[in-house]
Amino acid sequence: MDVPYAVYLHIPFCRHRCAYCDFNTYAGQEDSLSSYVQALCNEIQAVGAGVSLPVRVGSIFFGGGTPSLLTSAHFRDIFQSLYRAFEILPDAEISMEANPGTVTLAALEQLRALGMNRLSFGVQSANPNELRLLERIHDYSDVVNAVLWARRAGFDNLNLDLMYGLPEQTLADWQKTVNLVTGLDPQHFSAYALTLEHGTPFGRWASRGLMPTPDPDLAAEMAEWVRDFWAEQGYEHYEISNWAKINDGFKMQNEKFDSSFRIYYSAFVCRHNLQYWRNLPYFGLGAGAHGYAGGVRYSNVLRIKTYIERVRAGGAAVRWPLTAAAVNQIPIHRETEMDETMMTGLRLVQEGVADAAFTARFGVSLREMYGREIDELLGFGLVEWKTSGDSGVLRLTRRGWLLGNQVFMRFLRGY
Ligand code: SF4
């Protein structure tokens, strides 16, 4: 399948580390920002120079960390490197994660002028007590301003990230947050249940009994409620934790036909993340970034200073598209690629995994490869077959949406 690549750029700087966060990000290292951006530009160029043919890129995602801590001069340098190294498609989705407490109208206008066309704001909650508990640096008025400024700057594709299942959060608290943020009318929502990660302050407090652990049944109730609520509000639930606007009185204008996967989608699905869920290749650039390309999954060194040093030193050519920053690589053989295609593809609750697309990609049908696993999951009522065009599509049932991990682990054979 001739699909364009996706590019993920990791910006591992934050003003403050939130108590629940286990991402590779650092507070108090902003003095390294400029040398980090220089190293990132060099890494982009190293990947671009590693192949003779131009590499087509359909999406770029600045994640973190807090990419909105970069200046517009930093972004200009990165964009120049990207356009020099790759063939960026004219309709490429170019997204940035932003902390609502770190944006200004002027900065957003400059980003829009550079070609950024999608913003993802880490809102998490509209409740001041919950934001304080999460140790977020913003309050809800920052969110309202950020959305207004983004629109004024010309962004018409906004995502708001939310969290539920927080300690002591009630269903009514969650409903209040969702009602408020839905009133901001974004094109997309992501909503994730809080997980207490080992090694974070939340993880330590919960294990010592200093913080109540979230109630999984209540979190499931919150997930069920928001799914129905956003459906009523015209958002399509297309991935376990993601919704895109599809219907606000001009449905067809908001839908696009994806010819490779023969499915209609809201124009506002996150195309970059679709690349992950369809198990298609992406470059991971920056400290701690993960990539999957050239038949290899790989990851870069975590620490900012080591990343800068390694990229600066360059060194012996490694397998494309890995650079001197890479510290781990795992070759992905055909069977593992099939398993991963099942695990990530089934997250797409509408698209699922189409038998025709799977057979075209791997030369073997879903039934031939996973007949036993599929029968078992059908028996539990966790997956179902639906017909789309001339192909059978395997996808999660409503019950499967909530118990996704029990489905995905059936395909973990090669791990
Ligand atoms: S702003 Fe985001 S990336 Fe930074 S510490 Fe908080 S949750 Fe983690």
80-123: pLDDT as tens digits: 999 999 999 999 999 999 999 999 999 999 999 999 999 999 99
Same fold, 5-277 and 347-411: no
pLDDT score, position 293: 96
Answer whether 12 contacts ligand 1 (Cβ < 6 A): no
Average pLDDT over residues 63-91: 97
**At residue 415, does pLDDT exceed 60?**
no
Separation CA 171–CA 222 (nearest Å): 6
Q: For tokens 């869920």, what's the residue?
A: 277
Q: What mean pLDDT is reported for the chain?
A: 93
Pairing of strands 5-11, 282-285: parallel
Answer whether 101 contacts ligand 1 (Cβ < 6 A): no
Protein residue whose Cα sits closest to atom 5 of ligand 1 = 17
C-alpha pair distances (Å), 59 with each of 90, 199, 205, 299 = 10, 32, 39, 19
Separation CA 105–CA 229 (nearest Å): 31
**At residue 255, does pLDDT exceed 80?**
no
* 8-state DSSP, 87: E
Give me the phi and psi of 114, to 5 degrees please.
-75, -15
**At residue 142, does pLDDT exceed 80?**
yes
Query: What is the CA(208)–ligand 1 centre distance, in A?
Result: 23
Point out the ligand 1 atom lying closest to the alpha carbon of residue 137: 1
Answer whether 92 contacts ligand 1 (Cβ < 6 A): no
Choose the residue to mutate in 23, 131, 197 for probing ligand 1, maximizing ligand atoms within 8 Å of C-beta.
23
**At residue 248, does pLDDT exceed 70?**
no
Separation CA 408–CA 403 (nearest Å): 9
**Which CATH number fits the domain 347-411, given the four candidates 1.10.3720.10, 1.10.10.10, 2.60.40.1180, 1.10.540.10?**
1.10.10.10
Separation CA 31–CA 47 (nearest Å): 26
Q: What is the pLDDT of residues 185-202, one digit of tens each?
A: 999 999 999 999 989 999
pLDDT score, position 252: 44
396 forms beta bridges with 383
Protein residue whose Cα sits closest to atom 8 of ligand 1 = 21
pLDDT score, position 250: 45
Query: What is the CA(392)–ligand 1 centre distance, in A?
Result: 40
Q: For tokens 């973190």, what's the residue?
A: 64
Residue 274 has which token pair? Answer: 């679709």
- Percentage above 90 pLDDT, the chain: 86
Q: What is the pLDDT of residues 155-164, one digit of tens each?
A: 999 999 999 9
* 8-state DSSP, 214: P
Residue 275 has which token pair? Answer: 């690349």
The answer to which of 17-26, 272-281, 297-306, 385-394 has the lowest mean pLDDT is 385-394
Answer whether 137 contacts ligand 1 (Cβ < 6 A): no
Residue 332's closest CA among 360, 364, 298? 298
Query: What is the CA(162)–ligand 1 centre distance, in A?
Result: 13
Answer whether 14 contacts ligand 1 (Cβ < 6 A): yes
Point out the ligand 1 atom lying closest to the alpha carbon of residue 124: 7
Protein residue whose Cα sits closest to atom 3 of ligand 1 = 65
pLDDT score, position 387: 82
pLDDT score, position 256: 59
Q: Do residues 240 and 404 touch, judged by C-beta distance below 8 A? A: yes
C-alpha pair distances (Å), 196 with each of 19, 166, 205, 213 = 10, 10, 10, 8
- Percentage above 70 pLDDT, the chain: 93
pLDDT score, position 267: 84
354 forms beta bridges with 393
Answer whether 25 contacts ligand 1 (Cβ < 6 A): yes
**At residue 151, does pLDDT exceed 90?**
yes
Average pLDDT over residues 289-296: 96
**At residue 261, does pLDDT exceed 50?**
yes
Q: What is the pLDDT of residues 312-341, one digit of tens each?
A: 998 765 789 999 999 999 999 999 999 999
Q: How many other C-beta atoms can be found within 10 angstroms of the C-beta atom of residue 297?
A: 16
Average pLDDT over residues 407-414: 86
Q: What is the pLDDT of residues 346-360, one digit of tens each?
A: 999 999 999 999 999
Q: Do residues 138 and 100 touch, judged by C-beta distance below 8 A? A: yes
pLDDT score, position 246: 85
pTM score of the predicted model: 0.95
Give me the phi and psi of 124, to 5 degrees please.
70, -50
pLDDT score, position 52: 83
pLDDT score, position 260: 55
CATH architecture, range 5-277: Alpha-Beta Horseshoe (3.80)
Q: Which sequence spans correspond to the domains of the chain?
A: 5-277, 347-411
Tell me the DSSP string of 30-72. Answer: GGGHHHHHHHHHHHHHHHHHT-SSPPEEEEEEEEES-GGGS-H
Q: What is the pLDDT of residues 366-397, one digit of tens each?
A: 999 999 999 999 999 999 999 866 669 999 99
Residue 74 has which token pair? Answer: 């930093």
Average pLDDT over residues 21-37: 97
pLDDT score, position 266: 74
